[in-house]
Each structure stands twice: as C-alpha cells, then as structure tokens.
Amino acid sequence: MIKIDTKAALGAVNEKEINALRPAAEAAARTLADGDGAGNDFLGWLHLPSSIDEQQLAAVEQCAARMRQDCELVVAVGIGGSYLGAKAVIEALNDQFAAYKSATGTRVLFAGNNIGEDYMHDLMTLLQGRKWGIIVISKSGTTTEPAIAFRLLKGQLERELGREWASKHIVAITDAARGALRGLATQEGYETFVIPDNVGGRFSVLTPVGLLPIAVAGFDIRALVAGAAEMEQGSDEMMLQYAQVRNALYQSGKKIEILVNFEPRLHFLAEWWKQLYGESEGKDGKGIFPASVDFTTDLHSMGQWIQDGERTIFETVLTVESQHHEVVIPHDEADLDGLNYIAGRRLVEVNHKAELGTRLAHVDGGVPCMVITLPTIDERTLGQLIYFFEKACGISGYMLGVNPFNQPGVEAYKKNMFALLGKAGYEAQTAALEARL
Ligand code: PA5
C-alpha cells in the first residue's frame, strides 16, 4: 500500500498549525462524502473504483483485445483530462525504450493534445503503410485540438485502409448523448464508450477514457481499478494529512508545490497531477502552483533554484521502494572514474541515496518536504496513487474555498483563438484583439 510521511514538512509549519487545519480537512471530506459542496454534480469519480462492474470492464477489455489483435499502432486523440491519465499510466508501466524495439505488441500513441504542425506531420508519416486505429476521446466533443487531429487522422485512415476498416477501428469515448463527436460516432457506426456526466475530464482516468488506452497498451485495468478501490474503501487519513499539510504550507507562504520523482517513468504521472491540482485549485485568485521535476536529471538544472532560490516552495517526493530489474555497477581495475567505491552496488541503492541526500539538503535549505512511498510501480500501486491524489484534491480544494470541479479559466484563451481565427460569432472580439496587436 502507498503511504505518506509528512515529518519533513515540519519547520516551515509546526504541528499546532497543521493540527489546526484538521477540522477544516474533516469538514471538506464530509462535504465530499455528503455531496453538498460546490460542483457536487461532478462527484461521480468518488465511487468509480467500487462501482465499475464486470460488464463495463469486460466491454473495455474486449474492445482493447480487438484493437490489439488488428492494430500495430493505436492513436489516442484527446487533451487535458482526456489524455493525461492514460499517458501517465502507460508511461509508468511501459518498457521505456519500447518505441525503439521491434514487435513488442500494440503501441498507443497520442495526438490532439497540441496543435504542433510538425508533430502531426511526423505522426501521420509514421502511420503510413501500417495497420492502425484511433481512440478519439472528448467529453464535450467540441474541443478544438482533438477535433483537428481527429479530422486529419480519420481522413488518413479512411484513405489508406478503407472506410470499412476505419469504422471498425475508430472508437469514440464521449458524452452519452450530446456533442459533435456523439453525432459523428452514431452516423459512422463507431464503437463508443460513455464518459459519465458526473465525472469531469481530469477525474476520468478510471472510466473508459483512461481504461481503454491503458488496456490497448497491454496493461491490467482490473488491477488498476482494484488498487483504486483499496484506497476508496480504506481510511481517509492519508488524504486528510496531505490536504492539511499542503494547505498549512500554503498559508505560511509556500505558494508552489513541486512533485518530485526519481524515476523517469513517473514523468507523466506528474503531468497528470499538475492538471488535477492546477485546474482544480487555481481559481478565484487562489491556489498552490503545481510544478514538477524529474530527479536526478533536474538536479543539474532546477536543483540550484530549489536549494537556494526564493523560499516559496515545498516538495512532495514520490519514492519507489523496489525496481523490476537489477543493474549492478561493475568493478574496474583501473578505476579511472573513481567509482570502485560503489562497485557491486545496485543502481537503485545509489538512486535512493541520491534521493535521501537531496531531501535532507532541501529541508536544510528551507524546502519542506512530504514523502509518498510506492512499494513498486505496477497497476495496483498506480490505482492507489491516482485515487489518493483525486480524493486529496477534492478535500484540499474545498479547504481552499474553491469549486474544485470546474475550470472557467480555460475558456479565455479559446475565445481569443476563435476570434483570431475568424470563427463566426466572434467578430466583435476579433476587432478588439487585432487593435491590440
Ligand atoms: O479536466 C477537464 O475537464 C479538462 O481538462 C478536459 O479534460 C479537457 O479540456 C478536454 O475536454 P474534452 O474531453 O471535452 O475534449
């Protein structure tokens, strides 16, 4: 089971200050459980792990098996909550060099999470001459980035492999009834899965949004869901502690939380976490800024700032106890690199000492630090971690006094983009914006 240690956060805040937030944390947890807080029509994620039934899991697995049997590559098209959960889990579980190895099963690629022209060109070139399919994911069914990517990819798939292949190898995950994607899927006869109305994008990884791409990539979605269910059905203590300590630190002037990992495979887990906390808490002029670093890599770039820069940060370190493989540092007669003092030791040991050394140095440098320990990185542990962060986010958002389940701020750029592209209905904004350029 994952666990949390908040001792090294003491110093910047004391136990009294942390304990003073206990009633607020418990009240926030009650508000979540009773469903009577802001955004309460988006609490479907709270009991997802225990409520996903056999039929839903089997449907996802069957679709994934068909895609795996027929396709060498499957492109998951989506942005924000419609891609980050799947990307995070797949990257955490995958062979990290799978892209360079031949024939290791169906690979899931991602598109529609940017508007990079060269990115799209390179992807479309890669797909040529292969057997491939698409999972298009958009709750609203109207988001511009995935809509553009899907239009391009659908056209390419139909041209290259035929309309029949395309209609059998495009799967749409969207709202039950509304939105352009629902209409298109019905018209083209695509297999579809529903994103429940009461589950927002960034809380949707345990719906088909995350589960289907993860299953297509060959991972065990039942173990992922079981891990999340363990967290759902266990005590709230870890979530309360995390929410309490980060809010106490925020109130003491620590405005930035850095999620730290020492495992390259956790990079996208941090990207998912940043979206979860950034979109949920950053509103009404409030909110901890969620940042992330990959150590030891970033100790050689951001390490200086973290050790010595403005003291407005705290860290939450994801520590992983055991690895899947062993690599031992060899002895070298000449020892010109001076490494014989660690010869015979495993890389995991060196990495753990680097982590310990870093945590102690950062605490000494005035950076409070929480530690979340994962016994290993597998589906079950990731399921626990996902649910832990989701629930703690709901609690923390309510403690902060915001609605954690909306994201009104993301509309501003969209309106400007539509106006600048000349979309009908935005004429007044177009003139006003162009006058500023
Ligand atoms: O968390 C959210 O709700 C957002 O990040 C959405 O997931 C993102 O904007 C994509 O939306 P949609 O699935 O409607 O295309």
Query: Do the Cβ atoms of 398 and 31 come closer than 8 Å?
Result: yes
244 & 321 share domain: yes
pLDDT at position 99 is 86
Number of DSSP helices (H) and strands (E) in the chain, helices first: 18, 10
184 & 295 share domain: no
Residue to mutate (ligand 1; options 42, 77, 82; most atoms within 8 A of CB): 82
Spacing, Cα 204 to ligand 1 middle (Å): 10
Query: Do the Cβ atoms of 343 and 331 come closer than 8 Å?
Result: yes
Residue owning the nearest CA to atom 15 of ligand 1: 138
Is residue 424 included in any domain, yes or no?
A: no
Pocket residues: Cβ below 6 A from ligand 1: 79-82, 138-140, 143, 146, 200-202, 279, 407
Atom of ligand 1 nearest to the CA of 81: 7
Atom of ligand 1 nearest to the CA of 200: 3
Query: Do the Cβ atoms of 11 and 226 come closer than 8 Å?
Result: no
192 & 213 share domain: yes
Spacing, Cα 153 to ligand 1 middle (Å): 20
Secondary-structure breakdown of the chain: helix, strand, coil percentages, each rounded to the nearest 5: 55, 15, 30
Per-position b or e across 53-87, b if 16+ CB within 10 A of its CB:
eeebbebbbebbebbbeebebbbbbbbbbbbbbbb
Q: For residue 427, what are the CA distances in angstroms to 43, 371, 397, 419?
A: 37, 51, 37, 7
291 & 326 share domain: yes
84 & 29 share domain: no
Q: Sort 17 into a burial class: Cβ within 10 Å, 0-12 / 13-18 / 19+.
A: middle
Alpha helices in 82-207 (DSSP H): 84-93, 117-127, 144-161, 163-169, 180-188
Residue whose C-alpha is closest to residue 264's, from 97, 137, 423, 389 = 97
100 & 183 share domain: yes
Is residue 172 included in any domain, yes or no?
A: yes
Spacing, Cα 78 to ligand 1 middle (Å): 8
Following DSSP, what letter does each residue of 55-95 receive, concatenated? Answer: HHHHHHHHHHHHHHHH-SEEEEE--GGGTHHHHHHHHHHS-
Distance CA 207, CA 176 (A): 13
Looking at 169, 197, 223, which one is the last position of a domain? Answer: 223
Is residue 267 included in any domain, yes or no?
A: yes
Task: Report the 10 Å Cβ neighbour count for 221.
Answer: 23
138 & 281 share domain: no
281 & 181 share domain: no
Q: Give the CA radius of gyration of the chain.
A: 23
Residue to mutate (ligand 1; options 110, 113, 143; most atoms within 8 A of CB): 143
141-191 tens-digit pLDDT? 889 999 999 999 999 999 999 999 999 999 999 999 888 899 999 999 999
Residue to mutate (ligand 1; options 41, 83, 140, 195; most atoms within 8 A of CB): 140
pLDDT at position 329 is 98
Question: Domain with 358 in it: what CATH number?
Answer: 3.40.50.10490
Residue owning the nearest CA to atom 9 of ligand 1: 80
Q: For residue 306, what are the CA distances in angstroms to 95, 200, 257, 273?
A: 30, 33, 11, 20
pLDDT at position 11 is 87
Q: Into how many domains does the chain fold? A: 2
Is residue 383 included in any domain, yes or no?
A: yes
Output DSSP code: residue 206: T
Looking at 223, 256, 286, which one is the last position of a domain? Answer: 223
Is residue 434 included in any domain, yes or no?
A: no
Distance CA 147, CA 78 (A): 8
Is residue 415 included in any domain, yes or no?
A: no
Each residue's pLDDT tens digit in the chain (437 positions)? 999 999 999 988 999 999 999 999 999 999 999 999 999 999 999 999 999 999 999 999 999 999 999 999 999 999 999 999 999 999 999 999 988 887 678 999 999 999 999 999 999 999 999 999 999 999 988 899 999 999 999 999 999 999 999 999 999 999 998 888 999 999 999 999 999 999 999 999 999 999 999 999 999 999 999 999 999 999 999 999 999 999 999 999 999 999 999 999 999 999 999 999 999 999 999 999 999 999 999 999 999 999 999 999 999 999 999 999 999 999 999 999 999 999 999 999 999 999 999 999 999 999 999 999 999 999 999 999 999 999 999 999 999 999 999 999 999 999 999 999 999 999 989 989 999 99
3-state secondary structure of 258: strand
Atom of ligand 1 nearest to the CA of 174: 13
HSE-CB for 256 with a 13 A CA cutoff: 13
Atom of ligand 1 nearest to the CA of 140: 14
Residue whose C-alpha is closest to residue 224's, from 31, 391, 380 = 380
Which H or E run contains 307? Answer: helix 303-308
* CA 159 to chain CA centroid, nearest Å: 33
The residue range of the domain holding 11 is 3-36+235-400
Distance CA 40, CA 52 (A): 20
Spacing, Cα 15 to ligand 1 middle (Å): 38
Residues belonging to the active site: 279, 300, 414
> β-strands 256-261, 73-77: how paired?
unpaired
Is residue 412 included in any domain, yes or no?
A: no
| Residues making up the chain, counted from first to last | 437
Atom of ligand 1 nearest to the CA of 209: 13
Residue owning the nearest CA to atom 2 of ligand 1: 201
281 & 309 share domain: yes
HSE-CB for 87 with a 13 A CA cutoff: 25
pLDDT at position 178 is 86
Distance CA 239, CA 241 (A): 5
252 & 205 share domain: no
Query: Do the Cβ atoms of 415 and 426 come closer than 8 Å?
Result: yes
Is residue 205 included in any domain, yes or no?
A: yes
83 & 26 share domain: no
Distance CA 164, CA 48 (A): 34
Looking at 384, 400, 416, which one is the last position of a domain? Answer: 400
Task: Report the 10 Å Cβ neighbour count for 39.
Answer: 16
Spacing, Cα 203 to ligand 1 middle (Å): 10
Spacing, Cα 38 to ligand 1 middle (Å): 19
32 & 55 share domain: no
